[in-house]
Amino acid sequence: MIIQLESQVDEGQKKDIINKINELKYKTTEVKTQKGDYLVGIGKKDFDIRKIGNLPGIADIHIVSDDYKLVSRKWKVKPTAIDLGDGVVIEEGSMAIMAGPCSIEGEEQIEKTIEHLVENGVRIMRGGVYKPRSSPYSFRGMGIDGLKLWYDAARKAGIKIITEVMQVSQIGEMYDYIDIYQVGARNTQNFNLLDELGRVDKPVMIKRGISGTIDELLYSAEYVFSAGNENLLLCERGIRTYEKATRNTMDINAISILKEKTHLPVIADPSHGIGIRDHVDPVALASVMAGADGVIFETHEKPEEAFSDGQQTLDFSESSRLIEKIRKVHDLRESL
């Protein structure tokens, strides 16, 4: 059960409502986000809504049968839109394109990438400054200094920044320089990180775990939302299966299922999804046709010289062609 509170609800009213719900043997969690004030009630299934419906302070009550509540599509009339400012909005029906290198490598690379994005009308740049790597001996990213360099160049060009946050202490450190925090596939169930990201007011994109279920992804989003941040995006980036012809198995089904289950925007990552440069295009376009609200992919001026993920990174001319195709496919989808 989700109870939307009126914007002018006072603490006394809130307390009365909570008491009433607890009497019904429901456990309540108070949630206060950028957009609203909620009470989430968890308890037995059968429940007579009339017992609390007329209490002062309540704007609306939603019975949500899913185990996750706030991220469920069942209660929210309008899908969530993520507004990054300057006219950059990620929402159902639009097509958000996020592109850039796997790792931020230096000033020249940043500038060339930004130039490429601007030429193609792309407003959001991806790139890693903190890199999760299986081996402790691999390149782990330029860190906060790289992010600052990137921020300076991006701001001038009107480009928004999405980049991965790996631990709680980085949240504050990165805050001034990013537009979207990305939670990587290895941290999808790093619940402390999710909790803390619920306490900031910038959007968070959560990638599906390496072998995470769709439900687990929704629960992870529920963590952030219930801790106070409802500016959330979900990202399908391929799952681990027995098949080794591809790096991961892009789960196109998950895009369609997520669009039904949640009001949050769903982004597709074909670069990690299949992990092979020549196949990024078909997987990206398939993802758009399956209903994705955006695509995030890796591009680099010289993929063969990239510090990481070169094998799945497009060069700029491939990237330009893909962007054009994504837009055409999206147009068709919206017209069907």
For residues 35-74, which are near a copy of itself according to CB under 8 A? Answer: 40, 42, 67-68
Rounded CA-CA distance 246/270 in Å is: 11
- In the set 49, 59, 63, 332, which binds a copy of itself (CB under 8 A)? 332
Least Å distance, CB 66 to a copy of itself, is 11
Least Å distance, CB 282 to a copy of itself, is 4
Question: Closest Cα to residue 307, out of 159, 131, 57?
Answer: 131
Closer CB to a copy of itself, 97 or 274, in the complex: 274
208 within 8 A of 249, measured Cβ to Cβ? no
| Stretch binding a copy of itself (CB under 8 A), from 76-84, 98-106, 216-224, 307-315 | 216-224
CA quadruple 323, 325, 327, 333: dihedral positive or negative? negative
| Stretch binding a copy of itself (CB under 8 A), from 1-9, 102-110, 154-162, 272-280 | 272-280
By rule CB under 8 A, what string of x and - marks binding of each residue 217-236 to a copy of itself? --x--xx--xx---------
Least Å distance, CB 185 to a copy of itself, is 9
Contact set for a copy of itself, span 159-198 (CB under 8 A): 166-169, 186-187, 189-193, 195
Closer CB to a copy of itself, 43 or 158, in the complex: 43
Q: If you write DSSP's letter for every residue of 133-153 in order, what string do you get?
A: -SSTTS----HHHHHHHHHHH
The residues that bridge with 266 in the sheet, in sequence order, are 234
Closer CB to a copy of itself, 63 or 155, in the complex: 63
Least Å distance, CB 206 to a copy of itself, is 13
Tokens 């990013």: give the residue: 178
Tokens 């080794």: give the residue: 244
Cα distances (angstroms) measured from residue 66 to each of 31, 73, 81, 109, 312: 18, 10, 22, 45, 36
205 within 8 A of 242, measured Cβ to Cβ? no
Rounded CA-CA distance 216/230 in Å is: 17
Tokens 């801790």: give the residue: 227
Tokens of 323: 């962007």
- In the set 44, 78, 245, 304, which binds a copy of itself (CB under 8 A)? 245
By rule CB under 8 A, what string of x and - marks binding of each residue 7-26 to a copy of itself? --------------------
Contact set for a copy of itself, span 111-170 (CB under 8 A): 132-137, 166-169
Least Å distance, CB 44 to a copy of itself, is 14
Residue 117's identity, in one-letter code, is L
CA quadruple 198, 200, 201, 202: dihedral positive or negative? negative
328 belongs to the binding site for a copy of itself (CB under 8 A): yes
Least Å distance, CB 269 to a copy of itself, is 13
144 within 8 A of 154, measured Cβ to Cβ? no
| Stretch binding a copy of itself (CB under 8 A), from 141-149, 171-179, 244-252, 303-311 | 244-252
Closer CB to a copy of itself, 4 or 256, in the complex: 256
Closer CB to a copy of itself, 121 or 282, in the complex: 282
DSSP helix/strand/coil, 112: helix
284 within 8 A of 295, measured Cβ to Cβ? yes
Closer CB to a copy of itself, 107 or 278, in the complex: 278
Contact set for a copy of itself, span 87-106 (CB under 8 A): none
The residues that bridge with 96 in the sheet, in sequence order, are 294
